[in-house]
Structure 1
Amino acid sequence: MNSFETYKKRLLAYGSTPDEVIINNTKDTINKSFDSSLFSESIPINGELTDVIINQGKTSEDKTLLFRPDYESHKGAIAEINDSPFLITEFDTNRLYPIAKAKLCNSSISLTSSDRKIPSGKINEITGKPIMITVPGEKLEVPCVFERTTSIIGSELAINIPEGQAHVTIPFLKHEKLRKGLFLSFYGEEFRVDDIDYSKVYGDTGTIRLIAKKKVGGDSE
């Protein structure tokens, strides 16, 4: 076997085609960069430790996350950075250079499910029917991004949301209490959910935006 054939054989050990060899070599280089980088760290994303390189955004509330090749995530995932939750609002599925944009969750909303009636295991001696007991509904704390201003797509400019209104962005979830008319409290002020935007939900992932208006006299829960 001549030297060219030996070289070719070594190359094809990284893939079955020249293009595949290039891609796999690139992935190998990126992974080695992660291994040697002083800026690489492991953080929980949806509870699973993940290798990332974190770049600062325009403000301390904005982060860009760089991942190892082939990493898969989605909009709406929660990343824990320095013990603070960040909501992933964008995710590029590029297999070589996966990248995400994340925003600090500066508040949270509480959703409590309805109480349930369940059998106690005892029988009413008079009626002969099972005695039911009440189980309190479960309380769910959902991290969110509360905003009174919003960015213009494709621009670094921010515009004020109409007076008395706020946008609340949360990870996608299904909950019986998540509906129009829901009352929420932020920083000592009461808001009522006026509309719900599901345009950034894809299947069972993504983000939901609640359009909330400041509570006024006469509003009731």
Structure 2
Amino acid sequence: MSDYSTFRKRMNRMGGNQLEARANNTKQVVNQTFGRSPSVKAVSYEGIETEAMISYEKRSNEYTQSQSDQRSFTFKPNFHAEIGGIIEMDDDIYVVYDSNESELLPVYYALKSNNHIRVKIGEEREITGYTSIGQPIYGSVKPIFFERPCYATVNARFNVYTEFDSKINAPSGRMLIFFPYSEDQDLKDGMEFNMFGDRYRIINVDITRVSNGKGITRLFTDKIQSE
């Protein structure tokens, strides 16, 4: 058998052409790395149990400079997650905000949720019964809340981000919050909510980072000063 025939036979086992062979070889190396890497941990992505290599490396982003809040999750080849997806690990929740867009070595960058946003978006009245002529009898009014795990960061000028601390100390009292987009969020400017012991008002709802119903919502908020 000629050297060329031997090469083609090897290529056919690995893939139909040189690019496929390289891709298959990369997948094999990655899978082997997963098998022996101490940084591989069990995680859950949107309720699906899987595993990922965890990195604590600091990566430049517009939300925080705190390395303790940042994680990169490297999954096995062809794993697909969404921007705005939720990864759970060690009782913590992480919100995906970026990726390397690679199928062979998919890496997703996420920030650890440091709160849950809870905003009243409406009201409903429960029907408790009907009159003798069929008219509904309503009970008390119940508020409807929108709730999501989120990452909140202090921002004085909406273009300079500071490391988040337990107390809002930016001069303007402004805060940026981001969380997974949801079609039922129904958030509007002027709505108010509580977070970190203070009252905030939404001044802008940014969904420019949403595509095909997936992505992250960013809320720009102002702290309501107590009188």
Cα 1:176–1:199, aligned 2, differ >3 Å: closer, same or farther? closer
Partner of 1:178: 187
Which of 165, 173, 185 is the aligned partner of 1:164? Answer: 173
Between the aligned partners of 1:93 and 1:42, the Cα distance in structure 2 is: 22
- Structure 2 residue 150 is matched with structure 1 residue 144: yes
Letter in 1 for 2:77: P
The change in CA–CA distance for 1:165 and 1:138 in structure 2 (over 3 A counts) is closer
Residue deviations 1:127-156 (CA, integer Å, cap 9, x gap): x22434458455453111110149x99xxx
1:36 is matched with which residue? 36
Q: 1:111: Cα distance to partner?
A: 3.8
> Is 1:191 the counterpart of 2:196 in the alignment?
no
Which residue in the other structure is 1:66 paired with? 74
In structure 2, runs of 5+ residues without a counterpart are: 59-66, 164-169
Could you tell me which residue of structure 1 aligns to residue 49 of structure 2? 49
Contact 1:72/1:93 (8 A) holds in 2? no
Q: Write the distance in 1 (CA, Å) between the matches of 2:16 and 2:178.
A: 45
CA deviation string 1:25-69 (max 9, x = no partner): 211221121122222122011111122001013311111111111
Offset at 1:124? 2.4
Output the CA distance in 2 between the equivalents of 1:169 and 1:162.
Answer: 21
1:6 Cα offset (Å): 3.9
Distance 1:136 1:15 in 2: 60
- Matched with 1:5 is 5
Q: Find the residue that maps to 2:31 and give its secondary structure.
A: helix
Equivalent AA in structure 2 for residue 185 of structure 1:
N
1:166 and 1:158 map into 2 onto residues whose CA distance is: 9
1:129 equivalent to 2:137? Answer: no
Q: Which residue of 2 aligns with 1:89?
A: 97
Confirm or deny: 8 A CA contact 1:144 1:170 kept in the other structure: yes
Q: What amino acid maps onto 1:146 in structure 2?
A: A
Say which of 110, 113, 118 aligns to 1:110.
118
Partners of 2:124 and 2:144 within 8 A in 1: no
- CA–CA distance in structure 1, aligned partners of residues 155 and 118 of structure 2: 23
Question: CA-atom RMSD, angstroms?
Answer: 2.8
Aligned partners of 2:121 and 2:187 also within 8 Å: no
User: Match for 1:100 among 99, 105, 108?
Assistant: 108
Change (3 A) 1:103 1:185: same
Identity %: 22
What's the TM-score, normalizing by structure 1?
A: 0.82
**Matched AA of 1:76:** G
Which deviates more from structure 2 when the two are superposed, residues 31-40 or residues 62-71? 31-40
Look up the SS of the partner of 1:199 in the other structure: coil
Indicate if the aligned counterparts of 2:114 and 2:150 stay in contact, CA closer than 8 A: yes
**CA separation of 1:138 and 1:35: change in aligned 2, threshold 3 A:** farther
Q: Which runs of 5+ in 1 are unaligned?
A: none
